[in-house]
């Protein structure tokens, strides 16, 4: 019985220690993902444009970013470029994640844009719309609905990948976990709770995404 | 189908059973800490004071050392989980750690020191660290020391070199770390950093083993005594 009470106490202490680090995890995820969406959309539009030079540049961007592990990108931006930009940990982490995810997201957006039948581009043109108007009023509203499920997937992945910035000393959930267990040496309990906290966050987000998906579903 | 499952299970289980080889002693170390343990850039082999000492101890115990490189903040957990049988990693003997593992007799006297940028004219010792940003390594005694100074912001890094990179890039104002390691780093980059003040703590390094491994501990201790008597330890320190 004593053992159980002790264990419950320990769990309480770990949760109390870890909770203040959760907002940081959410902040990193939100900031990174929002900028990744904007950047990714830009890259996708450039990539689907008719100018060959633009297409090629966007393709090289995606290939390079996708070909390098996120962890290496974090090291590169924080330490590698430290002498030039001297970013502090938060902006460095956010920039690294947004650049990395913008490459993946741009591919998803491209798939969404290319899924719209060619005829709609021609129809918009015949209505006298220019390229920007076509994108803004015809293509993107439809493409967005198509890409909601894969994008939500990426968002969840992004939340979990935010744990990688713990490596540059940013105190988010995973970092707080490492701090706790390096002081009290309780490994199983610490990592169990860290994992559980990520799981809860992902569950809440999934529920929210499910709601959005239902709301914007294209009725066929 | 059942036969197939049995076959798979056998393969999996056979991987789990470790072959008891008393000839090999597995040792955990975080090889990012000059001059005690680092990876030699040209040979990719482990080198340093701790490595030499442990190899010598193993020789006397009639064992083959196998070094396993792990991050320092998980080094005690790994020992308890039997991923290796001993830890030598410039580890200070502290009361908290003693609750988890057994330590050999001390083999090195160390102390914490403060390093700042060469151009710094404000920090002369521990007094001036108040309100400053201090870099340390996660899970070290330097981290505990830094956290005990009031009004400071302590940033814990995975390894101490990262803290020095950030010191050079002016993200932090000082690094609190073991004198010997700080000195080893500074000799490589004497144009960037300097040590201020003297060591402000006295700490002893020990070799850690699991609490139940009293026999191994006794063997390590007697080897250490021998090495002390023969002057090997003294020679190693001046090297």
| CB distance A198 to A159 below 8 Å | yes
In a domain? residue A220: no
ipTM of the complex: 0.70
Q: Which residues of B touch A89 (CB under 8 A)?
A: 155, 171
With CA atoms as reference, report the closest residue to A72 among A110, A43, A39, A99: A99
The answer to whether B66 and B107 are in contact (CB under 8 A) is no
The model carries a pTM of 0.78
Rounded average pLDDT over A35-48 = 95
- Do β-strands B24-29 and B64-69 pair in parallel, antiparallel, or remain unpaired? parallel
Minimum distance, in Å, between the CA of residue A192 and any CA atom of chain B: 15
**What pLDDT, on the 0 to 100 scale, is given for residue A216?**
82
A99 within some domain: yes
Instruction: Give A-chain residues touching B74 at CB under 8 angstroms.
Output: 178, 181-182, 187
What is residue B215's DSSP assignment? H
Mean pLDDT for B89-96 is 95
Sequence-ordered strand ranges (E) for B58-173: 64-69, 86-87, 102-103, 108-110, 112-117, 133-137, 153-157
DSSP bridge partners of B24: B64
| Binding-site residues on chain B for chain A (CB distance < 8 A) | 72-74, 76-77, 80-81, 96, 100, 138-139, 155-158, 162, 165-166, 169-171
| Phi-psi region at B90: left, alpha or beta (left = phi > 0; alpha = psi -120 to 50) | left
pLDDT at B9: 67
Instruction: For residue A213, name the pLDDT band (cuts at 50, 70, 90).
Output: confident
**For chain B, what is the total number of helices (H) and then of strands (E)?**
9, 15
Q: Report angle CA B34, B227, B46 to the nearest 5 degrees.
A: 30
Q: Is A118 on the interface with B (CB under 8 A)?
A: no
Q: Per the CB < 8 Å rule, is A178 touching B138?
A: yes
Phi, psi of A129, deg, nearest 5: -85, 145
- Give the number of domains in chain A: 1
Reported as a pLDDT band with limits 50, 70 and 90, residue B10 is low
Domain of residue A202, CATH code: 1.10.3720.10
Q: What percent of chain B has pLDDT over 70?
A: 92
**B147: pLDDT strictly greater than 70:** yes
Treating both helix axes as pointing N-terminal to C-terminal, what angle do A22-47 and A140-161 enclose, rounded to 10 degrees? 140
Provide mean pLDDT across the span B94-116: 95
Q: What is the C-alpha to C-alpha distance for residues B106 and B205, in angstroms, rounded to an integer?
A: 5
Predicted confidence at residue A220, as pLDDT, reads: 62
Q: Look at the alpha carbons of A111, A46, A219, A212 in this order and tell me if their dihedral is positive or negative.
A: positive
**pLDDT tens digits for range A55-106:** 999 999 999 999 999 999 999 999 888 778 888 889 999 999 999 999 999 9
Helix (H, G, I), strand (E, B) or coil at A143: helix
Q: Which of B81, B89, B101, B155 is the best residue to mutate to test the A interface, defined by the most A CB atoms within 10 Å of its own CB?
A: B155
- CA–CA distance, B68 with B89 (Å, rounded to integer): 11
The helix, strand and coil proportions of chain B, stated in percent and rounded to the nearest 5, come to 40, 25, 35
Q: Is residue A179 part of a domain?
A: yes
Please report residues of B whose CB lies closer than 8 A to that of A167. Answer: 158
Across chain B, mean pLDDT equals 90
Choose the mutation target among A185, A190, A192 for the interface with B, i.e. most B CBs under 10 Å.
Answer: A185
pLDDT tens for B27-46 read 999 999 999 999 988 888 99
Answer positive or negative: Cα dihedral of B92, B93, B99, B103: positive
**DSSP per-residue string spanning B21-33:** -TTEEEEEE--EE
- Enclosing domain of residue A198: 2-215
Domains detected in chain B:
22-108+204-238 (3.40.190.10), 112-196 (3.40.190.10)
Chain B touched by A13 (CB under 8 Å) = no
Band (B7; pLDDT cuts 50, 70, 90): low
């Amino acid at each position: 019985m004593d053992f159980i009470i002790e264990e419950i106490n320990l769990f309480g202490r770990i949760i109390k220690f870890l909770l203040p680090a959760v907002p940081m995890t959410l902040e990193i995820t939100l900031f990174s993902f929002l900028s990744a969406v904007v950047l990714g959309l830009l890259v996708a539009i450039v990539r689907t444009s008719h100018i060959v030079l633009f297409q090629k540049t966007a393709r090289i961007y995606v290939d390079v970013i996708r070909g390098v592990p996120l962890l290496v990108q974090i090291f590169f931006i924080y330490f590698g470029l430290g002498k030039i930009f001297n970013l502090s940990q938060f902006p460095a982490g956010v920039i690294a994640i947004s650049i990395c995810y913008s490459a993946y997201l741009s591919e998803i957006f491209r798939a969404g844009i290319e899924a719209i039948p060619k005829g709609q581009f021609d129809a918009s043109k015949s209505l006298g719309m220019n390229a920007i108007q076509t994108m803004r009023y015809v293509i993107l509203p439809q493409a967005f609905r198509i890409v909601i499920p894969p994008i939500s997937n990426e968002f969840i992945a992004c939340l979990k990948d935010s744990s990688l910035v713990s490596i540059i000393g940013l105190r988010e959930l995973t970092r707080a976990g490492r701090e706790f267990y390096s002081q009290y040496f309780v490994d199983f309990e610490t990592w169990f709770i860290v994992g559980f906290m990520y799981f809860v966050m992902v569950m809440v987000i999934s529920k929210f995404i499910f709601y959005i998906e239902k709301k914007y579903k294209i009725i066929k | 189908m059942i036969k197939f499952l049995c076959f798979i299970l056998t393969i999996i289980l056979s991987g789990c059973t470790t072959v008891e080889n008393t000839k090999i002693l597995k040792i955990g170390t975080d090889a990012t800490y000059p001059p005690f343990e680092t990876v030699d850039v040209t040979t990719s082999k482990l080198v340093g004071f701790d490595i030499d000492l442990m190899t010598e101890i193993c020789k006397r115990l009639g064992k083959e050392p196998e070094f396993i490189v792990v991050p320092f903040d998980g080094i005690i957990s790994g020992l308890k989980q039997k991923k290796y049988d001993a830890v030598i990693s410039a580890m200070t003997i502290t009361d908290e750690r003693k609750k988890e593992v057994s330590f050999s007799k001390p083999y090195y006297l160390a102390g914490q020191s403060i390093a700042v940028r060469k151009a710094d004219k404000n920090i002369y010792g521990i007094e001036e660290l108040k309100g400053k940003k201090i870099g340390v390594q996660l899970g070290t005694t330097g981290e505990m020391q830094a956290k005990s100074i009031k009004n400071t912001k302590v940033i814990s890094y995975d390894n101490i070199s990262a803290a020095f990179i950030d010191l050079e890039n002016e993200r932090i104002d000082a690094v609190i770390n073991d004198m010997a390691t700080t000195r080893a780093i500074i000799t490589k980059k004497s144009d960037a950093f300097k040590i201020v003040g003297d060591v402000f703590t006295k700490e002893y390094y020990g070799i850690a083993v699991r609490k139940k491994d009293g026999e191994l501990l006794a063997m390590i201790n007697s080897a250490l005594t021998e090495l002390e008597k023969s002057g090997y330890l003294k020679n190693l320190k001046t090297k």
